[in-house]
Chain A
Amino acid sequence: MSHAAIANNQAIPHAEGQQHPIRLYLVVWFWLFVLSTCSYLVDYFGFQGYLRWFLILLFMLVKAGLIVAIFMHMAWERRTLICAILLPPVAVLVFVGIMVFEANYTLFTRLDFFGAGS
């Protein structure tokens, strides 16, 4: 471990909480504006299909990452807290997978029952 890391590790909890230059927040704020504009333009220009979904998810994840890491100070927390908070939501992805199967099955039975396309 480097000396800087040790110093960093000790300075944050003992002094007055999280101390970062205001400039950092302004830069993140600026980027959140840019990214929001980008995701709005996806709709404005009417991109469709996989390109649309990819861009929406990309901008969404970068924005979420900036908010959690910088605004919520997760980047300066110990790995113990990071893992305790950020790993459990991964289980939601499993749930998404299950519900995709379920929704497709429901759609299939509805099409079959209502006889759509006949």
Chain B
Amino acid sequence: MTRPDGWEGFAADWASDQRAFKTASWGKVMMWIFLLSDTFIFSCFLLSYMTVRMSTTIPWPNPSEVFALEIGGKPVPLLLIAIMTFDLISSSGTMAMAVNYGYRRDRKKTVALILLTAFFGAAFVSMQAFEWTKLITEGVRPWANPWGAEQFGSSFFMITGFHGTHVTIGVIFLLITAHKVWRGDFDNEKPGFFTSRKGRYENVEIMGLYWHFVDLVWVFIFAFFYLW
């Protein structure tokens, strides 16, 4: 059956019977809708950060200096944050390739790439733990810090903490997905534990959607919290 494209297709899809999302599976649409809701959660965090930063009468600490690392006695601005950014982008790249090899039914490469993605994710969380430790020893608390507006601490811990939690959950699910691919669940269409739906390689793509979203959120945090 051929379907109209573009706006004609848009009108036809929404006016049709039974389902509006004609080519995307139930699982994929549900993941997208979850990610949309998550978008609003992170938007609210960044918005409250914007509001407190704009409304404080005390100067905001300069993130370029706060997050600098000393290399050979010279402070390099945002060095760790830059490494974390490249690390997360690399994990997105390996995830995209894992999805691709999954659809080609190349189990070994898919597992290897998912595990590599999980490794990058774990490395990201470790660097974040290092960053938190450094800031906490320097005296940053949700209610105070040595450099300026008190709201800096609460914004920082809330935003990066929530993002780090997402990365951690992602790593756990990546390991579960890698295990399932390795076991051949998606070749044998083994029913899922919770949903009882047949295992398909699309599950890797849906996992990928979540992982890319975590990277996407970091793009916004990097721009608004660290660079602004």
> A: which residues have CB within 8 A of B?
1, 5-6, 9-10, 12-13, 16-20, 22, 25-26, 28-29, 32-33, 36, 39-40, 42-44, 46, 52-53, 56-57, 59-60, 63-64, 67-68, 70-73, 77-81, 83-85, 88-89, 92, 95-96, 99-100, 102-104, 106-107, 110-111, 114, 116
The CA-CA distance from A79 to B10 in the complex, in Å, is 6
B14 interface residue (CB < 8 Å to A): yes
Candidates A53, A68, A114; contact of B216 at CB < 8 Å: A68
Q: Of B9, B202, B208, B216, which contacts A79 at CB under 8 A?
A: B9
Smallest beta-carbon distance A22→chain B, Å: 6
Check B36 against A85 for contact (C-beta < 8 Å): yes
A sample of 19 cross-chain residue pairs with beta-carbon separation below 8 angstroms, ordered by A number, consists of A9-B2, A17-B202, A32-B92, A44-B77, A60-B220, A67-B212, A71-B215, A78-B24, A79-B9, A79-B10, A80-B10, A85-B33, A95-B47, A103-B50, A104-B54, A104-B55, A106-B55, A110-B55, A116-B57
Question: Which residue of B has the minimal Cβ distance to A100?
Answer: B54
Query: In whole Å, how far is A4's beta carbon from the nearest beta carbon of chain B?
Result: 11
| A20-B100 CB under 8 A given contacts A67-B219, A114-B57 | yes
A73-B96 Cα distance, complex, nearest whole Å:
10
Does B127 make an interface contact (CB < 8 A)? Answer: no
Contact partners of A26 in chain B: CB under 8 A: 93
What residues of A have a CB within 8 angstroms of the CB of B220 in the complex? 60, 64
Stretch at the interface among B15-23, B157-165, B174-182: B15-23
Q: Confirm or deny: B169 has a beta carbon within 8 angstroms of a beta carbon on chain A.
A: no
Residue in A32, A70, A88, A107 whose Cβ sees the most chain B Cβ within 10 Å: A32
> Does B99 make an interface contact (CB < 8 A)?
yes
B27 to chain A, nearest CB (A): 12
Complex Cα distance, B52 from A13, in Å, reads 46
Which of A17, A72, A77 has the largest count of B CB atoms less than 10 A from its CB?
A: A72
Q: A17-B103, A78-B21 are in contact. Are A57 and B223 (CB under 8 A)?
A: yes
Contacts A59-B223, A79-B9; is A64 near B216 (CB within 8 Å)? Answer: yes
Contact present for B212 and A16 (CB under 8 Å): no
- Nearest residue (CB) in B for A92 is B43
A84 CA to B39 CA, complexed, in Å: 13
Q: Does B74 contact A (CB under 8 A)?
A: no
Q: Name which of B29, B32, B64 has the most chain A CB atoms within 10 A of its CB.
A: B32
